[in-house]
Structure 1
Amino acid sequence: MFSEPDRLLTSFILRLRSGTLDERGIDPSGLYWEPKSFLNTKNIIRCLISLLNWLEPKCTKTHKLIQNDFRSVLLYSAWYRKNINDFLGHTKSFKNCTLSYKEMNYCSTKTHLVAEGDAVAFPEETFKNLFFDGFSTQRDLRISIRDKLILLLMHGGGVRESEAMSLWVSDIELDPLNSNAALVKIYNEEQGVAPYGWKSNRGGNSRKLFLKEKYGRVPRVSMFNTEHLGWKGGTIDHKDGYIIVNWFPSYYGEIFLRLWKIYHQYRASILCNHPYAFISFHKKHFGFPYTLNAFHQNYKNALKRINLLPSKHAGYDPHGHRHIAI
Structure 2
Amino acid sequence: MSFVIKRGVNYKAGKGRPSFRFPALLTESGLLISHLRFLHENRYKSQSWLERNTFAVELLLKFLERQVSSFSSATELLRGFVEALQFGTIQDGKDNSGLFWSPRRNEDVNVLLRHITDYCDYLDSIHGTNLPKLNPLRKSTYAEERMQWCAYYRRHSRSFLNHLVKPSTQQLSLARKIRGPERHFVDVEAVYRFPEDRIEDLLLHGFVSASGEPDYASQLIVMLMHFGGLRMSECFHIYTDDISIDPKSGSALISVYHPSNGKSPDERFSKRREYLAHKYRLKPRNEYSRSHRLYAGWKGPLLTNINLSFDVMFYPASKAVEFTLLLQKYLSTRPVSEFPFLFVNSKGNPESKKNFHQKHNRAVQRIGLEPCKSLGTTPHAHRHAYGYRLGQGGFSQLEIQKAMHHKSPDSCLVYLKPSDDEVRQQMRSAH
Same fold by TM-score, threshold 0.5 exceeded? yes
TM-score normalised over the length of structure 2: 0.47
The CA distance in 2 between the partners of 1:251 and 1:138, in whole Å, is 30
The CA distance in 1 between the partners of 2:349 and 2:211, in whole Å, is 19
The CA distance in 2 between the partners of 1:159 and 1:95, in whole Å, is 43
Does 1:199 pair with 2:271? no
Query: Which structure 1 residue ranges, 5 or more long, are not aligned?
Result: 1-9, 23-37, 39-71, 81-87, 97-115
Structure 1 equivalent of residue 13 of structure 2: 11
Structure 2 equivalent of residue 242 of structure 1: 309
The CA distance in 2 between the partners of 1:140 and 1:216, in whole Å, is 36
Q: Is the 8 A contact 1:138 1:144 kept in 2?
A: no
The CA distance in 2 between the partners of 1:152 and 1:73, in whole Å, is 43
Does 1:323 pair with 2:384? yes
Does 1:125 pair with 2:187? no
Q: How does 1:153-232 map to 2 (within 5 A)?
A: 153-175=224-246, 178-196=248-266, 198-200=267-269, 205-224=270-289, 225-232=292-299
Structure 2 equivalent of residue 92 of structure 1: 154
Cα separation, partners in 2 of 1:213 and 1:133, compared to 1, 3 Å:
same
Structure 1 equivalent of residue 222 of structure 2: 151
Q: What secondary structure is seen at the aligned counterpart in 1 of 2:220?
A: helix
1:150-186, Cα deviation, whole Å (9 max, x unpaired):
010000000011101221110111136x531100111
Q: Is the 8 A contact 2:124 2:152 kept in 1?
A: no
* Structure 1 vs Structure 2 CA RMSD: 3.4
1:95-126, Cα deviation, whole Å (9 max, x unpaired):
99xxxxxxxxxxxxxxxxxxx98261111111
The CA distance in 2 between the partners of 1:246 and 1:260, in whole Å, is 16
Structure 1 equivalent of residue 180 of structure 2: none
TM-score normalised over the length of structure 1: 0.61
Q: What secondary structure is seen at the aligned counterpart in 2 of 1:166?
A: coil
The CA distance in 2 between the partners of 1:288 and 1:122, in whole Å, is 29
Q: 2:322 aligns with which of 252, 255, 259?
A: 255
Amino acid at match of 1:206: K
Q: Is the 8 A contact 2:373 2:381 kept in 1?
A: yes
What's the offset of the Cα at 1:93?
2.1
How many residues in Structure 1 have an aligned counterpart in Structure 2?
Answer: 226
Q: What secondary structure is seen at the aligned counterpart in 2 of 1:318?
A: coil
What's the offset of the Cα at 1:230?
0.5
Q: 2:207 aligns with which of 135, 139, 146?
A: 135
The CA distance in 2 between the partners of 1:90 and 1:318, in whole Å, is 44
Which has more radius of gyration? 2
Cα separation, partners in 2 of 1:173 and 1:75, compared to 1, 3 Å:
farther
Q: Is the 8 A contact 1:135 1:302 kept in 2?
A: yes
Q: Is the 8 A contact 1:170 1:195 kept in 2?
A: yes
What's the offset of the Cα at 1:73?
8.1
Q: Is the 8 A contact 1:147 1:295 kept in 2?
A: yes
What's the offset of the Cα at 1:239?
1.3
Higher relative contact order (CA 8 A, sep 6+): 1
The CA distance in 2 between the partners of 1:185 and 1:138, in whole Å, is 33
